[in-house]
Amino acid sequence: MILAVTMNPSVDISYPIQDFKLDQVNRVEHVRKTAGGKGLNVARVIKQMGEDVLATGLLGGAIGDFIIQELMKSEIKHDFFRINQESRNCIAILHDGQQTEILESGPTLSMEEGEAFLEKYREQLSEASIVTISGSLPKGLDCGYYRQMVEMGREKGVPVIVDTSGEALRQVLFHQVKPFAIKPNIDELSQLLNVKVEGSISSLKHLLSNELFQGIEWIVVSMGRDGAFVKHGEEYYRVTIPRIDVVNPVGSGDATVAGLAVALNRKQTVQDVLKTAMTTGMLNTMEAGTGYINLAKFGQLLELVKVKKVD
C-alpha cells in the first residue's frame, strides 16, 4: 500500500468570473470545489493508476468533513488525524484568462498535535510499502518535521518520496538520513542551492553531484514541457517528452510523484519508472481537473517518452 501524506490539505474553490470587477459585487454560477493539497492530488492519481493507496495527514472542522466526503466519492481510503481547528480554503478566481488566488494559510498546530500525528504515522508505516510526502507544513510544526518522518520511514525500511520546498526541504536534505526520492522543479532547485539553475545537461549534472544529494536514490528534476533531468544512484538521465495539448498544468508535479511512487512500488526498471512518472505528469496537463488523469491515453503517451543516459 502507498501512503500519501498531506499535512495541510485544503478545499480548493474556483470561481470563473469572466469580467471580474474590484470593489463591486461579482456573481458566480459554476463554482467548483475539490479536495486539494498536493498529497491529495498524489493520492487521486495513484488511485486512478489502480494502486492501493491510503491518504493521511491532518484535517479538521467542516472543511475537513468535506475533504473526507470527496475522498469517499473517489473511493480513496483515508485515515487522517483530526484537529480541533478548521482546515483551509484556497480560492482561485478565474478571470480574463488570468488566475487570482487567495490562499488561507490554514490552522496553527500545537506540538502535541504534531506528536500525535507522528504516532499515527508510525502505525501506518507498518502497512506501507512506500510513502509520499507532499506540500507545505502547517504553521506550528517545526520545519524539521518532515526530516523526522523520513527518519521513521528509514527505521521501518519504507522508502519515502519527499516533494516539498523551502526550509522544510532544506532540513530534509541537510541530514544524514536521506529520503529515497525527491522531485524538485527547476525553481525549487534554484531556491535550494541558492543559484539560478539553467536547464543545460552539464550544469544540472554538476549541481546534482553536490554532496547534499549523496545518498538519495532518485532525484527527479521536473522541467515542465521539457521533461526531466534525473540522477539515479550515480547515473544521470535526460528524459524528453512529446509536445502535447495542455489544458491545465496545475498539479502535474503531483501526478509525476504519483507515477513515480506507483512505478517504484511495482519494481519497474529505471527506464519504465521514468517513463511512467513523465506520462502521469503529462496526462494531468491534458485534463481540466487538478490531480486527474485519463488512463486510456497512458500506453500511447508512454511510448513517446525517451530516456537517455547521460555520460
Instruction: Kindly list the residues in this chain that would bind ligand ATP in the complex (CB under 6 A).
Output: 185, 222-225, 227-228, 241, 244, 246, 249-254, 256, 278, 281-282, 285
Output the smallest distance, CB 254 to ligand ATP, in A: 5
Q: What are phi and psi of 33, to 5 degrees?
A: -125, 125
Contact 283, 304 (CB under 8 A): no
Judged by beta carbon, residue 34 or residue 185, the one nearer ligand ATP is 185
Output the smallest distance, CB 61 to ligand ATP, in A: 26
What is the grid cell recorded at 24?
463591486
Helix, strand, coil shares, percent, the chain, to 5: 40, 25, 35
Judged by beta carbon, residue 65 or residue 303, the one nearer ligand ATP is 303
Output the smallest distance, CB 256 to ligand ATP, in A: 4
Judged by beta carbon, residue 265 or residue 276, the one nearer ligand ATP is 276
Q: What is the largest CA-CA distance in the chain?
A: 60
Output the smallest distance, CB 165 to ligand ATP, in A: 9
Output the smallest distance, CB 251 to ligand ATP, in A: 5
| Distance, CA of 264 to CA of 284 (rounded, Å) | 19
Output the smallest distance, CB 50 to ligand ATP, in A: 20
Pairing of strands 53-60, 81-83: parallel
Judged by beta carbon, residue 125 or residue 186, the one nearer ligand ATP is 186
Judged by beta carbon, residue 117 or residue 146, the one nearer ligand ATP is 146
Report which residue's Cβ sits closest to ligand ATP.
253
| Distance, CA of 198 to CA of 275 (rounded, Å) | 23
Judged by beta carbon, residue 182 or residue 282, the one nearer ligand ATP is 282
Helix (H, G, I), strand (E, B) or coil at 55: strand
Contact 8, 135 (CB under 8 A): yes
What is the grid cell recorded at 129?
510499502
